[in-house]
Structure 1
Amino acid sequence: MSTAHQSDYFTLFRTALDENDRRSKVIVFADIVGSTDMKAKGEVTWLPTVGKFYDVVGEAVSQTGGRVVKYLGDGAVLAFDDDKAAEAINAAILIQESLEELRHDNKLQCQCSIGVTTGRPVSFEIAGATDFVGESVDLAARLCGAANPNAVWADANTVSAANMARVRSRVGAAMRRGVAEYRTGEESVRLKGFSDPVKYHEIIWSTTPFGVRNSVVTQIVNRESDKVVAEAANTSRDRSREWQLGTVVSWSGDRGMGFVRADGEKEDRFVLKHWLVGVDELPRGQRVAFLGNTAAPGKKNATAVRVMIFDQPTQGQIAVCPDGRDYVFVEVRDSNRTPNRGLIFCPRPATESKIGDWVSVVPIVDASGRPAMRLG
C-alpha cells in the first residue's frame, strides 16, 4: 500500500499501479436519492437527515464486519475483504431495511440506492486512513446511480463470489425465501465510462425488485427477455401463475394486509400492502385481478400478488419489447414509498412502441371469458 504526501498523488497512484499485491475487495457504494431537493429545504432538514443516514450505514457495517472507507456528503463508500461478499450484500440489505423502518415510523424521509462490486482497487493511505480508487469503485458508483431508490445492485463478480446461503433479509425470512430467490437473473446495462454492458443482479431484499431508474431504462440491453418470454409462455401451462379474478374479503389499513377470495376457490388468499399495484388499500367487496402463489411451507393461506383493481387502468412502462413479436412486457409500480415492481405480459400496442414508453394496463376478461390484460 502506498502512502500519500501533500501534492504527491501523481507519484502515489503511479507507484500503486505497479504494485503486484493489490488485493481483491468488495466495494459498497450507497447514495441518498433526491439529495439536491433535500438540500434546497435548508440545513435544518438536510444535515440531520445525512447524520442519521451515516448512523444507519455505520451500524450496518459494524454488524457485518466491513468498514466505512469514507462519507461523501450524500453517500458512503464501504469496503469488505473478498471472502466477505455475502456480508457486503447483507450490509446493503441492512441499510435499506433500516431506512424503510425509519420511513414507516415517520422518523426519517430518506431513500438510497446501493451498488456492490468486487475487484482489485488501488489502495492508498492518507491522513492515517486507507482509501481506494479504481474501476471497481467507479463501477459501484455507476450501478448505484442506475438503480432505482431502495434497490441493491451487485455485479456478477460479487454474486459469483458470495455464499448466497448467508444472505438474509427480514422479508425473505418471513417468506421462507430460497437461496436463489434473493437475486434476479443476470441482467446487463450500459453505464457511462464502461465500453461493454455491465452484468449485474438485483438483490431482492424486499417483496419484489425495485428495478432501473427511468433515466436509464432505455439503456437496458439484456433483461433476459428470452427467459421472461419463456416464463410467460409457460403461464398457460401453469394454472397457479395465470391471472385470476377475485373479491376482497377483508382489509386492515393499520396492519397493511388483508384477504382475497379467488372466483371458484373456497379458501382466502393472503395479501400484503406491498403486493398491491397502483393502490395503497383494498376496500371490502372490491373486484381484483392477481397472480396466485401456493402457500409457503408452514403457512395456512396461499397468497395473491401483483394485485390490481379490475377494469381500472394502471400506469406502467414498457420494459421488454421483442422485435417482430406481437407482445410487450410492461413494468408496473405502485404508489407506496417502497414501490412494487413487476413485469406484465400484454398485447403489443397498435402504435409504434419502444422501451421506456408509458402506457396504461387494464385487467379485463377476454373474449374467451378468461382474465387478461390490455393496454388502455
Structure 2
Amino acid sequence: MKMNIYEAISSTDSEVEGTILVMDIADSTKMKEETEEVGWLGNYAKAFDIILQNIPESGEVVKYLGDGIMVFFREDEQTDAINAAIRTQEALEKAKEDKIIKVVFSTGVASGKFWRVPLGNDRFDYLGQVVDKAFRLCSAAMPKAIFVDADTVVAANVTKVRSTVGSALRRKPAEYVGKTASIQLKGFAKLVEYHSVHWTGEQFGVKPSPSEGGALDGRSALPAKARSLPQSTSDHEISLIGKFTEWRGNSGRVRTESGNEYFCHKGNVPEGLNVEAGQEVFFIERPTGRELPMAEHMVPLGASFEGEVVDAHGKNVFLRSAALSTLGHENVYLFWEDEIILKHGDRGTFYLGKGFSKQKNRYTLRAEGFERL
C-alpha cells in the first residue's frame, strides 16, 4: 500500500520531539569540477564512513543528501547530538591531516517538535521547521563550524560536552558553548538564536554568502547567487590591518591603506568584541572565489588581551596571546623599556596597537600599555 504523507503528518502519532543533526561537505562543487568522479566519490565515501563510525547508537541516520547526511536523536538526547558533532569533526580533521580525505564539513543542530513520516521497512523521514532550522544553520556555518540552536543548548547537559582539545586546555563546560548569537535564516520570520560549539582551539563563524538551493535538500541559510567558502585558520598567519567602514545589516567592508577592499560579516568578529565604523582592525585574509576576499577574525585596535613572553632580546619582546593565536593572528611585538627584564613565560595584559616592520614592509600587531601579572 502506498504511503499517504498527508495522513501521516495529520496524525497525532506522527508528532515527535527530538534533535536533528545535519552535516554537509564544504565546497563540494569545486571538488567535483577539479577532480574526476572516481576521486571525489572516494573522498565522499571515506568521509561518510568516518561520520558513521562516530555516530552513537542513540543516533538514527535518516538519509544521505548528495553532499550531506541527516541524523535523528530522540528526546533528551541533545547532549549526545552535540558530542556526536564534535566526535565526527575531530575524526574528520585527523583524517584530513593524515591525507586520507580532502573534504571538510559544516554542522547544524536543532531541537524541538516535528513530524515523523514512515517510508516503509521501519524507515522514517522527518519534516518541520526544526528540521529546516538544522539544515539552514548548517548552510550558514563555515567549514568545521558546529552551529547549535538555543533550544538544544538549553536542553543539553553542557557539563558532559567534551572535546580532545578542550580537555587538553582544561576548558570549563561553559567554555564549549559560545555566547548567544542570532542570524536571519531563509524561511524564518524572526532572527534565529544559536551558539557556536568551541570544539577546537579555533573559532568558526558564518559563511559570507550561502547559496540558494544546491546541496542540503535545497535548504540554504540566505538567498544568494553564489556559495563562497573561506578556509579555516591556523596559528600565526599573516595579520593584515584595515579600516572598517560600516555595518549594513550583518555585512560590512574593510579597506586597507593600499585601497584593497574586503567583505566581512558580524560573525567574523570574535565574541565579546565590537567593531564600529571608522575603527582600525587586524584581520586574516580569506579568498572566497568571488570579487571580494573575506576579512576574517577581525580584532579592533585598543582591545585588551593577555599574553605570555615567548621570546625576549633586550628591549625587543614577543608575546603569544592565546586569544589571538587561536584566531590565526601572529605573535605580538612589545618594545620594553622598563628596568625589570622580561623573560620567557612572564605574563601580562596589554592593549592591541599597530607597529610597522621594515623587514616585512607591513603593519604588525604591537602590545601597548603592557602590565605584568
TM-score grouping bracket, smaller chain normalisation: 0.5 to 0.7
- Pick the aligned partner of 2:365 from 348, 354, 363: 363
Indicate the residue corresponding to 2:5 in structure 1.
12
Pick which of 44-53 and 216-225 moved more.
216-225
Indicate the residue corresponding to 2:39 in structure 1.
45
**For 1:140 and 1:89, how far apart are their aligned partners in 2?**
12
- Pick the aligned partner of 1:311 from 356, 361, 368: 356
- Pick the aligned partner of 1:74 from 67, 74, 80: 67
Indicate the residue corresponding to 1:242 in structure 2.
305
Q: 1:164 to 1:262 in 2, by over 3 A?
A: farther
Pair 1:61-2:55 in alignment: yes
Indicate the residue corresponding to 2:80 in structure 1.
87
For residues 75-128 of structure 1, the C-alpha deviation after alignment (integer angstroms, 9 at most, x for no partner) is 000011121101100111111101111111122111010000002221112131
Question: Is the 2:22–2:107 contact (alpha carbons within 8 Å) kept by the matching residues of 1?
Answer: yes
CA RMSD after TM alignment: 4.2
Structure 2: 5+ residue runs without aligned partners?
211-246, 252-265, 276-302, 335-344
Pair 1:288-2:333 in alignment: yes
Q: 1:165 to 1:226 in 2, by over 3 A?
A: closer
**For 1:226 and 1:105, how far apart are their aligned partners in 2?**
31
Indicate the residue corresponding to 2:328 in structure 1.
277
Question: Is the 2:178–2:195 contact (alpha carbons within 8 Å) kept by the matching residues of 1?
Answer: yes
**For 1:126 and 1:137, how far apart are their aligned partners in 2?**
17
For residues 293-331 of structure 1, the C-alpha deviation after alignment (integer angstroms, 9 at most, x for no partner) is xxxxxxx99799xx9996369xxxxxxxxxxxxxxxxxx
The code of the aligned residue for 2:87 comes to L
Structure 1: 5+ residue runs without aligned partners?
231-239, 250-259, 290-299, 314-359, 372-376
**For 1:220 and 1:269, how far apart are their aligned partners in 2?**
31
Pair 1:22-2:28 in alignment: no
* Structure 1 SS opposite 2:77: helix
The code of the aligned residue for 1:363 comes to L
* Structure 2 SS opposite 1:242: strand
**For 1:16 and 1:242, how far apart are their aligned partners in 2?**
53
Pair 1:149-2:143 in alignment: yes
- Pick the aligned partner of 2:27 from 20, 31, 34: 34
- Pick the aligned partner of 1:200 from 176, 194, 209: 194
State the percentage of identical aligned residues.
31
Q: 1:126 to 1:20 in 2, by over 3 A?
A: closer
**For 1:96 and 1:226, how far apart are their aligned partners in 2?**
22
The code of the aligned residue for 1:127 comes to G
The code of the aligned residue for 1:72 comes to L
Question: Is the 1:278–1:308 contact (alpha carbons within 8 Å) kept by the matching residues of 2?
Answer: no
* Structure 1 SS opposite 2:79: helix
**For 2:353 and 2:29, how far apart are their aligned partners in 1?**
34
**For 2:171 and 2:48, how far apart are their aligned partners in 1?**
29
* Structure 1 SS opposite 2:24: strand
Q: 1:262 to 1:100 in 2, by over 3 A?
A: farther
Indicate the residue corresponding to 2:106 in structure 1.
113
Matched pairs, number: 278
Question: Is the 1:31–1:112 contact (alpha carbons within 8 Å) kept by the matching residues of 2?
Answer: yes
Indicate the residue corresponding to 2:339 in structure 1.
none
TM-score normalised according to structure 2 size: 0.63
Q: 1:137 to 1:219 in 2, by over 3 A?
A: farther
Indicate the residue corresponding to 2:119 in structure 1.
126
Indicate the residue corresponding to 1:340 in structure 2.
none
Q: 1:160 to 1:14 in 2, by over 3 A?
A: same
Question: Is the 2:202–2:327 contact (alpha carbons within 8 Å) kept by the matching residues of 1?
Answer: no
**Runs of 4+ displaced beyond 2 Å:** 216-230, 240-249, 260-265, 268-279, 300-304, 307-313, 360-365
* Structure 1 SS opposite 2:16: coil
**For 1:308 and 1:106, how far apart are their aligned partners in 2?**
39
**For 1:271 and 1:229, how far apart are their aligned partners in 2?**
19
Indicate the residue corresponding to 1:255 in structure 2.
none
TM-score normalised according to structure 1 size: 0.63
Q: Write out aligned runs for 1:314-329 (5 A).
A: none
Query: How far off its partner does 1:66 sit?
Result: 1.0
Larger relative helix fraction: 1
**For 2:317 and 2:192, how far apart are their aligned partners in 1?**
46
Question: Is the 2:23–2:105 contact (alpha carbons within 8 Å) kept by the matching residues of 1?
Answer: yes
Indicate the residue corresponding to 1:327 in structure 2.
none
